[in-house]
Amino acid sequence: MATPWKFLVSWIVAKGIMSDEREAARLWRINRTIHELVADRGYEVADEEINVDLDMFKREMSTNGAIDRNRLNFFTSHRDNPNERLFVFYATERNVGVKTMRQFINILEERNITRGVIIWSDKMTSAAKKVIEAMRLQLVLEDFEEAFLLVNITHHQLVPKHEVLKSEEKSALLQRYRLKESQLPRIQQSDPVARYFGLTRGQVVKITRPSETSGRYCSYRICM
């Protein structure tokens, strides 16, 4: 007959396994969204990196039965400009501080990469956020909470299609309608969709919505 101690051990083990399974499924969804985000910004991403199934993800990214965040880090290059490289870094610290930011920036500098995305789970301290601001002239750094990446907001049925215009497309738009930038409606950099696409000040996004009369309706917003 099993002793209460053995029952307790079995319960603890079972709880640990369930916790690992939930965490694996959570990180699998986050991993898929960040790869979709990077691809939508024009960077090289293989289809299998986006469409990897959960079982394969766990086999490739686990260490001792748990997902190893270090294995989720990846580098990629822009499709139109291979010299423009991006590094995606998963923080292993739950509360990201200056130490983690220093580790992140050291990797960028060693690889001569000027763009980086850091993903954090629980909290980013004010000191860590100040590092991003302090490095703004040398590096383009972004941070995303894991919760933001659990779902791809651009796939939601209530979010219309967004397309970031290239510089020449923006110029053609302003010339065609004889507009100044100040006359365009605005989208804030803090807007979730603007953050997804990494919009910077002055960039214009085309928004396409369904219309009952014309089939679809296009509008434009400038990031401010």
Residue 222 is predicted with a pLDDT of 98
Residue 4 is predicted with a pLDDT of 57
The per-residue pLDDT of the chain, averaged, comes to 92
Residue 2 is predicted with a pLDDT of 52
User: What are the pLDDT digits (tens) for 20-29?
Assistant: 899 999 999 9
User: 214 pLDDT band (50/70/90 cuts)?
Assistant: confident
Residue 7 is predicted with a pLDDT of 47
Q: pLDDT at residue 111 above 90? A: yes
Q: Could you tell me what percent of the chain has a pLDDT over 90?
A: 86
Residue 215 is predicted with a pLDDT of 81
User: In whole angstroms, what is the distance from residue 112 CA to residue 103 CA?
Assistant: 14
Strand partners of residue 123: 95
User: In whole angstroms, what is the distance from residue 214 CA to residue 212 CA?
Assistant: 6
User: 210 pLDDT band (50/70/90 cuts)?
Assistant: confident
Instruction: Count CB atoms within 10 A of the CB of residue 103.
Output: 14
Both tokens of residue 183? Answer: 């006359």
Q: pLDDT at residue 8 above 70? A: no
Both tokens of residue 33? Answer: 């969204």
Go through the domains of the chain in sequence order and give each one's CATH number.
Answer: 4-151 (3.40.1340.10), 154-223 (3.90.940.20)
Q: pLDDT at residue 10 above 50? A: no
Cα-based distances in Å from 177 to 9, 129, 150, 170, 180 = 71, 40, 39, 11, 9
Vertex 129: Cα angle to 49 and 42 (nearest 5): 30
DSSP string, 19-83: HHHHHHHHHHHHHHHHHHHHHHTTB---HHHHH--HHHHHHHHEETTEE-GGGG-EEEEBSS-TT
User: 14 pLDDT band (50/70/90 cuts)?
Assistant: very low
User: What are the pLDDT digits (tens) for 34-47?
Assistant: 999 999 999 999 99
> Do 154 and 193 contact (CB within 8 A), yes or no?
yes
Residue 13 is predicted with a pLDDT of 40
Q: pLDDT at residue 204 above 50? A: yes
Pairing of strands 140-145, 115-120: parallel
Strand partners of residue 67: 62
Residue 20 is predicted with a pLDDT of 85
29 contact partners, CB below 8 Å, separation of at least 6: 149, 150, 151
Mean pLDDT of 107-122: 97
pTM exceeding the 0.85 threshold for the entire prediction:
yes
Q: Could you tell me what percent of the chain has a pLDDT over 70?
A: 92
H or E element in which residue 111 lies? none
Mean pLDDT of 150-178: 96
Q: pLDDT at residue 12 above 90? A: no
